[in-house]
Amino acid sequence: MGLKMKERQAVTREYRPRYQKATRKEKKAVLDEFTRLTGYHRKSAVRLLGAKPARQVTVHANGHAVKLKPGKRWPGNRKGRPVYGDEVIGSLRKVWAFFWYKCGKILAPLLRQQIACIASWPAFGITPEIAGKLAGISPATIDRRLGKDRAALALRVKHSTTFGGWLLSIIFARMWVYERWVF
């Protein structure tokens, strides 16, 4: 029919409890009636009527009321500090280069096994605190923190090979070019 969106939402709020409490046969009748009234597709109607209504939670932050829906994260900045600072990532870059730019899945176990030996070398400049953090760093964090460095090392292709006409003169090929056969 010609219901407006606010009216459809009101009808949905009225039908939702009936639909959720109904048996299977009753749900079919409620769904038929609801789709006739609102004009929704049947699958959309099932999704709307079967959904649990989202409760809104009001939280007071800095003197302002903020409405949060369940499952949504708190708006704002991250509270914690980064675990791995610039010194740790700088040492990680040196170790990464030493191990020939291995990925995080390979580098993390190597770090855990060899960190005592690596930390003893003065070239790396690894303190006991940095060594402890490098021993506990995860492979995903390694890949994430070294992503820009890995991209800088990637080969950049400026030109790709093109199919030249000279190849046709060397190799006998039959192909369709601009609506005529070329031999």
Residue entry with tokens 């004009």: 39
Torsion of CA 55, 60, 64, 68, to 10 degrees: -30
Once rounded to an integer, what is the mean pLDDT over residues 60-73? 60
Provide the residue ranges of all domains of the chain, joining segments of one domain with +: 1-75, 86-153
- As a whole number of angstroms, the distance between CA 79 and CA 25 comes to 51
| Residue 14 pLDDT level (bands cut at 50, 70, 90) | very high
Mean pLDDT, the chain, rounded, equals 82
Check pLDDT > 80 for residue 73: no
| Bridge partner residues of 58 (DSSP) | 67
Check pLDDT > 60 for residue 181: no
0.75 exceeded by pTM: no
> Can you read off the two tokens belonging to residue 20?
């959720």
| Residue 81 pLDDT level (bands cut at 50, 70, 90) | confident
- Triad 53, 5, 45: Cα angle to 5°: 55
